[in-house]
Structure 1
Amino acid sequence: MTTVSASIATQAQTLTFRPARASDAFVCAPLVFASGEHEFEFFLGVSPERCITFLAFAFGLNGGRFSWRRHEVAVDANGEIVAVLAAHDGRRILADDPHVVFTLLRHFGLLRTVPMLLRGLVLETELPKPKRAQTLIAHCATREESRGTGAFSALFAHALGKVERGLDTPAREIVLDVLASNTRAAALYRRLGFVDLPRRKPRSKRLPAELESIRMRFDPRAPR
């Protein structure tokens, strides 16, 4: 093991993991935004600051795809959150669409919400909801100063197998999406055991080219 890899392993060993809490909203919201800043800016059509404010509001709610209830976090020796991920179990997302409509209406009002929902439908052609047999990993992010330390890999390893999150393999098919342009993240996911799935249809002409994404599936037997 090299000095660098030994240092990374040591830092990862100092982490603890727990389910997110509603009180984590203002810390986790910038991380959730960083996990898909281009997607959020397209969907919401507002500045990064307003995106983060909305995500903090939605994270603090008890339901929906942005809720703290969907998230797991990694915490360092100082008690600070350094990484986050969400798990969306395809068996438990029936209320997600009505909930996001309600959340957008509460936060932005009717006039802003309608075009957001229309853009959301376009985005969903590229980032489809998980099927009933799938669990979608999303909102994968690490605090900037903790990147390259193994924090997210350790968090994913901790979350993997959690039945209550729908991450029990091989019973569940675990999938995620990554921007085609985000080669660094895609390389990380491949090291974790994800493989690219073939694209089934072309990108929507109404979706910006920079939002073209790759869907990946977890395969523990894949070469790393």
Structure 2
Amino acid sequence: MSLMIRRATPADADACVPLIYSSGPAAFERVFASGQLSAQDFLRPAFCSGLGQFGCQQHWVIEENGQILATGTAYSGRDTLAYGLRSARQIIASYGLGAALGVLGRGLAMERLIPPPPRNTWYLAHLGVATQARGQGLGQQLIEHLEQQGRAAGFERAALDVAVSNPRAQALYERLGYRLEKERRSTIAGVADHRYLAKVL
């Protein structure tokens, strides 16, 4: 395949938002589904804004002949405060203040299962590959690209979380050198236990 890896843009929302959602649908639904809004209804304007951890400016895509086949992002604990404030603003704008309090509360509960990364760790997230493109090495290419971004930024350690219900993804991460460091038990209905894996960059 002739592939290109590039930064995402707002025009990529139709392809990227479902892929981001696919990286953790149960968690996204638990936090962001509220009233008439689905998780993807929230993710779309957040992605198009370009800002925060869900913004297109933080995401990379793998594209072939104009078709987006994979997306993902990476950041560190140094971004936690700025991302948290941005997400809070996006949540209030999408849900209104009353419903936003419930979304923010569920988000904080989810952070006990999937906490923000340590300050000096390069954290990979929102990794999604289109169904028809799986098994072709795109996940590995995306991860290696994100890792290179971390090395260029001076990070010596990378990490990610994976649901225990996704053994295929965990097997890929382990082939790429990630090793289990923690397993966190979920107390959230419908959301699986999660494993924290890390590697030296």
Residue in 1 aligned with 2:177?
193
Amino acid at match of 2:44: A
Distance 2:167 2:144 in 1: 21
Aligned to 2:136: 149
Tell me how large the CA RMSD over aligned residues is: 2.2
- Structure 1 segment 40-189 matched on structure 2, within 5 A: 40-46=28-34, 50-76=38-64, 78-162=65-149, 166-168=150-152, 171-189=155-173
Report the secondary structure of 1:193's partner residue.
Answer: coil
| C-alpha separation in 2, matches of 1:156 and 1:93 | 21
C-alpha separation in 1, matches of 2:113 and 2:200: 22
Q: For the pair shown, which has the larger CA radius of gyration, 1 or 2? A: 1
The question of 1:214 aligning with 2:192 is answered no
Q: For 2:51, what is the secondary structure of its paired residue?
A: coil
* Contact 1:173-1:217 within 8 A present in 2 as well: yes
Gap regions ≥5 residues in structure 1: 1-10
Letter in 2 for 1:125: R
Contact between 2:34 and 2:103, CA under 8 Å: does it hold in 1?
no
Q: Which residue of 2 aligns with 1:5?
A: none
**Which structure dedicates a bigger proportion of its chain to strand?**
2
Residues 105 and 113, structure 1, Cα contact 8 Å, conserved in 2: yes
Deviation of 1:177 (Å): 0.4
* Count of matched residue positions in the alignment of Structure 1 and Structure 2: 201
Q: Calculate the TM-score normalised by the size of structure 2.
A: 0.91
Q: Percent identity?
A: 31
CA distance in 2, matches of 1:107, 1:167: 35
Calculate the TM-score normalised by the size of structure 1.
0.82
What residue ranges of structure 2 are gaps of 5+ in the alignment?
none
Task: Tell me the residue number matched to 2:185.
Answer: 203
